Structure 1
Amino acid sequence: MQRAVAVLLLALFVLPATAPFAAAQAWEEDGWLETSMAVERIEAGDEFGCYGMPGLSWANDPGAVATACREYLTARTPASSWGDAPVSLYTPSGLAATDHTLLGGLGFVVHGDDTGLATSAWHDADDVPSFEEDWYNLGRRGGSLEKEVADIDALEAELDAGGLVNMYWIGRVNDATIRHDGEVVDLLLAREDVWFTTWGEAWSTWAVSRCHEFSLEVDPENRRNVSFTLEDTVACGSSNPEAWKVPTTWRFLPPEGVAVTEVYLEGVPARNLTGERNTAAGARADGNETLLSLAVGQRMDLVLDAPVNRSDLDVLGMTEQWNGLGVAVTVAAHDTWDLFRWSKRFNDDPELRFTWLVIPRDADPEMPWLPWVGLLAAAGTVLAMRHLIRTDDGSSALAPYPASRGFKEQE
């Protein structure tokens, strides 16, 4: 009996002490992240980023939250078809700038949205990012996909203004399913100037615009053949090592009266990107120019209809948006703990691109087992006290009938 009481007393101390550690693991994984559904979203061009981790506090240790979420995500799926490591992270408003620097050092280069920092990116059409820190406060533009919340007129105004329009989406709130606004989706898909992209793609494109090197050469044996290579340099690679090798678009201008007749990418006929609105490598004509979309390290070979000299050619630079489109649109899916429920309604809209900010589902948000710990503690205390009283030899104040001491008066 004494051994049982000892074990019970030990449990009374151990269970409350271990409750915080159990709470930190009180989550259920989203099994869809390890199925063909996640593969299909990746192949379609979507991106997976991080939203948080149940049981861990942004206020107490943002680095622990980001690290745990990254490990959870990378164990189940790559972040994108362009790169395995996640680069996009939801962060709540109120974190210090030093916290954001810490998170950036962990590989998360895009923090959003509306994080409250003084530096910012794309809070409006003129808020063009200049430094890495600007991306630690990605703005929310264009409103939400949620029905009866979306503002069609405001969205259209933002699209006309250009830049990057970052919209908001959440599939469920508690047990309530959120309905999306079909008119918003129809408006987006009806516009021919929209580049549907993701946070990581947009940031990686910006990284190339800051640091790049290309070569443009004419074949001396056949001056109708021109090669354009986007060089993979150590300097640019080390300046933004997190950047994915996404295709970026460059304006090639031949001499007046000369036209491009064929374009090859790595020896294979390049994809015709006319009318395309999702990131890909290829080429298309744009007036007298030819828009060349290729990733760092790739080469394109152009065939012209007349011989040229190198001095006759010009590359007018990189376009602001991929494929020379007018405005970039991202949709950030917040608090994604069930990929199936969040994404199934958009299966008929394959051009839309989502940045899925994932988080495991909180299995026991209120830890309902804790009252049982309290009940066990109370019952254990009563049982332990009863045992001590029953086995007391009378020397303790707990004894019900303390033994009387015999004494002899001194004569």
Structure 2
Amino acid sequence: MSLMVTSVFYVVMLKWGLLEDCHMRMLVLAMLLSATFAPAVLADAGWEEDGWLATIGAERLEKGDEFGCYGMPNLSWKADPGAVALECREYIEERIEASIWGSNPISTYTPSDLSESQHTVVANQGFKVHGDETGQSNTAWHSAENVPEDDYDWYDLGRRGGSLEKGIADVSSLESELDAGGLVNMYWIGRIYDATVRHDAGVVDMLSERDDVWFTTWGEAFSYWALDSCNSHNDSLKDGLLHFESVDSTACSSAYKAWNVPLTWIVDVGNAQVLDSSLDELDVDESNTNEGWRQEGSTLFISVISGNEVTFNLSDDDYYEVLGKTQFFNNKTTALTVAGHATTDLFLWSKRFDDHDFLKFTWLLTPREIESGLEWLPYAGLGVLLLSVSGIWLVLKKDALEHSKAEDLMPVADGGDDDE
């Protein structure tokens, strides 16, 4: 279409006698430059994006899933991890938000042979969680006791839960890890070459019966951990009305690139009972990240994002004390994440879990690689475009010369009016 418009433009220029050498050179240069910005630019040669991100991606986002990075075809993690992280981050940001809690992607796959300095380069692109089993000396959640202490511990997230794949998943081993506590990270891939992978329904059924597990994502778990050291609180109690606000240290959370996820605070209210609240009440079985409150005896659990001031109408105002925060959301003893590795087709990777909303996935995205033997197509397309431009230029140059010669042969009138 652009070539057709350009051709018509040339004909108009020719008719009005404006196709001099200078004009022609400038216009042909503009056409050649426009070819550089064609859809099949060489920078994108070798891969195509996942169209499902624009459709079911929004649905998965609303369900509480997260979108992170796996890699980019034709770019090597080992050769230039910064370039891979940058391109992958831009690929995600231009298509979908990373989470309902934050738009910036902070989770990525990295191979096990990167150096500590290379992991720092990746982190400088905004990716704070690197997984899993990346071979670093500082680690996070390789066991129930391997609690992260510094942000660089998250450059090597463990994989304790095994796989969701049927025939590989081990229900008893997974149950043992969940009983031990901490963050349990599982692995999932929806397709291997042309074969669709089946999930283990027994594992999903077992997980659905657990009420002690926080089903979360890499980015949520990291943000909860990071904000634990960043957030303070404002509170007061007067005439039976308890005011509470979680206050974020902006400098701290910005340094971590953490999302504003709800933290669960512990408040001792003595013998008082909550009569009413501006916050929705949570059930003890609530296992997905959300705002709300619940009371167990004298203990009030408040799950709230920073900056959201909430109130509680108590039965008396004799006593209260903010004791701190729980390790995991809603005072769960264990957290579970499922990472969807090499997600090239969100539909194939996610469709079997549509009826299991309690599970939350960290989809590690990568564009689809063009099939072997077809890598030449983008180059051929660009070649055809350049040849078309050159052909049009030669034809119009010839027409311009003939037009000029014809004008030279026309007799010049000495005077008189123009023909009507």
TM range (shorter): 0.7 to 0.9
Is 2:52 the partner of 1:32? Answer: yes
**Which residue does the alignment assign to 1:236?**
252
For 1:293 and 1:103, the matched residues in 2 are separated by 32
Q: CA deviation at 1:286?
A: 2.1
In 2, are the aligned partners of 1:247 and 1:279 still within 8 Å (CA)? yes
Is 2:52 the partner of 1:45? Answer: no
Q: CA deviation at 1:142?
A: 1.0
**Which residue does the alignment assign to 2:233?**
214
**Which residue does the alignment assign to 1:396?**
none
1:133 maps to which of 145, 152, 158: 152
1:113-153 CA-to-partner distances (Å, cap 9, x unmatched) read 00000000000100000001000000001110000101111
For 1:131 and 1:352, the matched residues in 2 are separated by 27
Distance 1:353 1:27, change over 3 A: same
Distance 1:145 1:262, change over 3 A: same
Distance 1:119 1:289, change over 3 A: same
1:145-201 CA-to-partner distances (Å, cap 9, x unmatched) read 000101111100000001000000000011111100000111111111111000000
In 2, are the aligned partners of 1:337 and 1:358 still within 8 Å (CA)? yes
With 210-219 and 186-195 compared, the bigger mean Cα shift is at 210-219
**Which residue does the alignment assign to 2:119?**
100
Q: CA deviation at 1:75?
A: 0.9
In 2, are the aligned partners of 1:23 and 1:55 still within 8 Å (CA)? no
For 1:234 and 1:28, the matched residues in 2 are separated by 38
> Normalised by the size of structure 2, how large is the TM-score?
0.78
For 2:272 and 2:351, the matched residues in 1 are separated by 48
Q: CA deviation at 1:70?
A: 1.0
**Which residue does the alignment assign to 2:296?**
286
What aligned pairs does 1:185-224 form with structure 2 within 5 A after superposition?
Answer: 185-219=204-238, 222=239, 224=240
RMSD (CA atoms): 1.7
In 2, are the aligned partners of 1:253 and 1:288 still within 8 Å (CA)? yes
Q: CA deviation at 1:272?
A: 2.6
Q: CA deviation at 1:23?
A: 7.9
Distance 1:23 1:305, change over 3 A: closer
**Which residue does the alignment assign to 1:176?**
195
Q: CA deviation at 1:22?
A: 4.2
Q: CA deviation at 1:235?
A: 4.1
In 2, are the aligned partners of 1:281 and 1:295 still within 8 Å (CA)? yes
With 164-173 and 292-301 compared, the bigger mean Cα shift is at 292-301
SS at match of 2:231: coil
Aligned length in residues: 339
For 1:279 and 1:368, the matched residues in 2 are separated by 43
In 1, are the aligned partners of 2:230 and 2:249 still within 8 Å (CA)? no
For 1:49 and 1:305, the matched residues in 2 are separated by 46
| Letter paired with 1:286 | E
**Which residue does the alignment assign to 1:11?**
none
**Which residue does the alignment assign to 2:405?**
none
SS at match of 2:219: helix
| Letter paired with 1:234 | T
In 1, are the aligned partners of 2:162 and 2:186 still within 8 Å (CA)? yes
Q: CA deviation at 1:60?
A: 0.8
What aligned pairs does 1:10-409 form with structure 2 within 5 A after superposition?
Answer: 22=42, 25-35=45-55, 37-219=56-238, 222=239, 224-240=240-256, 242-255=257-270, 257-265=271-279, 270-308=280-318, 312-365=319-372, 369=376
SS at match of 2:340: strand
| Letter paired with 2:73 | P
Q: CA deviation at 1:368?
A: 5.8
**Which residue does the alignment assign to 1:401?**
none
SS at match of 2:88: helix
SS at match of 2:248: coil
For 1:43 and 1:100, the matched residues in 2 are separated by 30
For 1:251 and 1:362, the matched residues in 2 are separated by 49
For 2:372 and 2:123, the matched residues in 1 are separated by 29
For 1:301 and 1:346, the matched residues in 2 are separated by 37
In 1, are the aligned partners of 2:119 and 2:155 still within 8 Å (CA)? yes
Q: Give unpaired runs (5+ residues) of structure 2.
A: 1-40, 381-420
Q: CA deviation at 1:273?
A: 3.4
